[in-house]
Amino acid sequence: MQPLNNKQTNNKQTIAIYFICLLVYACTFHSFTVHAETTPMQTIHSTALTIYKDGALLRQGRSLPLSKGKTTMPITGIANTIIQESLMLLLSALPKEAVIDETTLTKLNDEAYALNMLVNSTVDEPKSFVTLIYLFKNISWKPFYTIQFVSGYQQLIVNSFFEINNISGISFKETQVQFVDGNIPPIRPTETDKDNLKIKGYTYKGILDLPKNGTKRLTWATSDSIKTKQDYRVFVGGEFLNNMDGKVAKPIVETWVSFNNTASNTLGQDLPQGPAILYLDQNGQLESLGSTILPHTAVGQEISVRVPSTHVEKNDKNSDKGLKFIETELEQNQFRRLNDTQNTESHYRLELKNKSASPITIRVTLDLPENVTNWEIIRETQPHETSGEKQVFWHVKVPANGQTQLKYQLRFITK
């Protein structure tokens, strides 16, 4: 296959290396099926889109019958938001048989360009084709969810959707689609852009038609009724990591429900981070509970959702007063800076009081800020666990009509 030989393009080696990386990434998720869509000059054989949050990568195969000699061959329907540096053409003919000497983009209208190619061929090949590859803007996607609680939060139903917004000015027929949870990597990446390549992809298994200047919603995953488990959580990060000046805080106790992202729960798809609208089904009548953000959840991982506090009081089985049966008291016994202002050490005492007639377990969660580069629990009255690099938690058992204290000493360094 013969790469584009464009006399008007600079820095060809840099762009080629970059674009080969994008092409390999796209091909990892796409296999191309043959279909027929006729344009004034070519038949489109295959179309695949890798859609980012701020644009897309197009790979499209078109018929390109070759005739001996030099011929100017137009390709129509090029998005007017094309990133011209990203344009690459691959001929099915061998380099010794045909070469693209020049390419020129001309504006057809406010929505599309035409690409004119000067092809120099030594053969007549009516069955040859060209693969057109480029990045373009004005197309994006976003995930979102609906979660319906039933049976007093003991079960729930999850629906996951992807919404594509195509205002690029061109339409796409019978297209395979890959979604990337991130922006288009820069054409000339720097050292600080390396993290942009660590992005998550989601492959849609069906074939889509995308209208120009329109929006399409896809169902990504949907579940039957899933049994949940309920727990109580207290969060002691955030503002409590600062100097509390001897003041005693009373962290809020929250009710959470959790379930697993598995095929047995009729999910079993990687789920991207996105907003979720919460509903409560009470005897067939739906009530809106507001919204939350679901994190990225791979297959097999647990998903947790916070139940709005106003509805916890209505549905909690332990007390007709809801979470008022749990009392908290957080005291910072010591706060100091070590050596410099980036090194902090604090001593804490958290008291949990259970006023109900049943023993409970409370998850105490310490979320560390993003700017923390190193941390250590120096002392603690019970062993901690971790989730990821910057979350520490304890499962604290509190007896019926009793109380438990958790003491810990934390040291962390910020950048």
Task: State the total domains in the chain.
Answer: 2
Domain end: 110, 136, 162, which one? 136
- Residue 163 is given by DSSP the state E
What is the structure's pLDDT at 38? Answer: 32
| Strand 402-414 with 343-354, pairing | antiparallel
**Whether residue 397 sits in one domain with residue 248:** yes
Instruction: DSSP for 331-386, please give it.
Output: EEEEEEE-SSTTEEEEEEEEEEEE-SSS-EEEEEEEEPPTTEEEEEEEEESS--EE
**Whether residue 244 sits in one domain with residue 386:** yes
First to last CA, the chain: 50
Q: Residues 6 or more apart from 57 whose CB is under 8 A from it?
A: 22, 26, 49, 50, 86, 133, 134, 135, 184
What is the structure's pLDDT at 309? Answer: 66
Domain end: 106, 136, 166, which one? 136
- Asked if residue 279 is part of any domain, the answer here is no
- Asked if residue 276 is part of any domain, the answer here is no
Q: What is the pLDDT along the chain (415 residues), one digit of tens a residue?
A: 334 344 334 444 444 444 444 544 444 444 333 333 333 356 888 999 999 999 999 999 999 888 899 988 889 899 999 999 999 999 987 778 899 999 999 888 888 899 999 999 999 988 889 999 999 999 999 999 999 998 778 899 999 999 999 999 999 999 999 999 999 988 766 655 555 556 789 999 999 999 988 999 999 999 999 999 989 999 999 999 999 988 999 999 998 999 999 999 889 899 999 999 999 998 888 899 999 999 999 999 999 998 876 554 444 444 333 467 899 999 999 998 877 678 899 999 999 999 999 999 999 999 999 889 899 999 999 999 998 889 999 999 999 999 999 999 999 998 8
What is the structure's pLDDT at 261? Answer: 93
Which residues, in sequence order, are bridge partners of residue 282?
Answer: 285
What is the structure's pLDDT at 408? Answer: 97
- Asked if residue 400 is part of any domain, the answer here is yes
Contact 121, 71 (CB under 8 A): yes
The CA distances from residue 20 to 12, 88, 241, in Å, are 12, 10, 46
Residue 152, sorted as left (phi over 0), alpha (psi -120 to 50) or beta, turns out to be left
What is the CB-side half-sphere exposure of residue 91 using CA atoms within 13 A? 25
**Whether residue 246 sits in one domain with residue 351:** yes
- Asked if residue 287 is part of any domain, the answer here is no
- Asked if residue 343 is part of any domain, the answer here is yes
- DSSP H helices, 133-243, are none
- Asked if residue 371 is part of any domain, the answer here is yes
CATH of the domain at 239: 2.60.40
SS3 18: helix
Instruction: DSSP for 70-131, please give it.
Output: EEEEEEEEEETTB-GGG-EEEESS-TTTEEEEEEEEEE-SSSEEEEEEEEEESS-BTT-EEE
Domain end: 136, 151, 168, which one? 136
What is the structure's pLDDT at 285? Answer: 86
The CA distances from residue 277 to 161, 259, 296, 313, 332, in Å, are 12, 17, 16, 20, 37
What is the structure's pLDDT at 195? Answer: 53
What is the structure's pLDDT at 43? Answer: 87
Backbone angles phi, psi at 263, to 5 degrees: -65, -35
**Whether residue 240 sits in one domain with residue 108:** no
Domain that holds residue 239: 229-260+305-414
- Asked if residue 292 is part of any domain, the answer here is no
What is the structure's pLDDT at 330? Answer: 97
What kind and span of H or E run contains 312? helix 309-315
**Whether residue 397 sits in one domain with residue 255:** yes
**Whether residue 116 sits in one domain with residue 11:** yes
- Asked if residue 322 is part of any domain, the answer here is yes
- DSSP H helices, 211-294, are none
